[in-house]
Amino acid sequence: MKRSPIVPNSRLSFEASEFAKDKGLFPEFHTACYKAFWENGVNLGDPEVLCDLAQGVGLNPEELQTHLQAGTYTQQTRDQYDEALKLGIRAIPSFIIGPYLFSGAQPYEFFQEVARRAQDGNPQTLH
């Protein structure tokens, strides 16, 4: 992983991801975006970049561009964002396991402990 030289406005990438979901290619598109950002530092806020990534996984870039320009997925992604805020999500990545909400990169053992506590049904404060 390389830190990108920019912090893109990722709103359009979320909209493009919804398009990919509708076309049954979300996992492929998500992986392509992740690699492009973390390995090549691309700007995921650039519609041209998103269309190139879409084409690379078998999506129609012209169709994606039309949906991005029309704002087809804008309200849907805004609603998802608002829902995340209501749940207390303020950072990426965030995880909800049972009654636990936590953010950021965590060691594997932390995930194991959270899963164990959630499975036991005995919520405790995590440290």
pLDDT, averaged across the chain: 91
pLDDT band at 92, cuts 50/70/90? confident
Tell me the per-residue pLDDT of 59-87, one tens digit each, with 9 for 90 and over: 999 999 999 999 999 999 999 999 999 98
Q: Which residue has the higher pLDDT, 2 or 94?
A: 94
Three-state helix/strand/coil letters over the chain? CCCCCCCCCCHHHHHHHHHHHHCCCHHHHHHHHHHHHHHHCCCCCCHHHHHHHHHHCCCCHHHHHHHHHHCCCHHHHHHHHHHHHHHCCCCCCEEEECCEEEECCCCHHHHHHHHHHHHHCCCCCCC
Can you tell me the mean pLDDT for 3-24?
A: 89
Give the pLDDT confidence score for residue 95 in this predicted structure.
Answer: 93
Structural domain boundaries in the chain: 11-77, 88-127
Q: Which residue has the higher pLDDT, 123 or 5?
A: 5
Can you tell me the mean pLDDT for 89-109?
A: 90
pLDDT band at 127, cuts 50/70/90? low
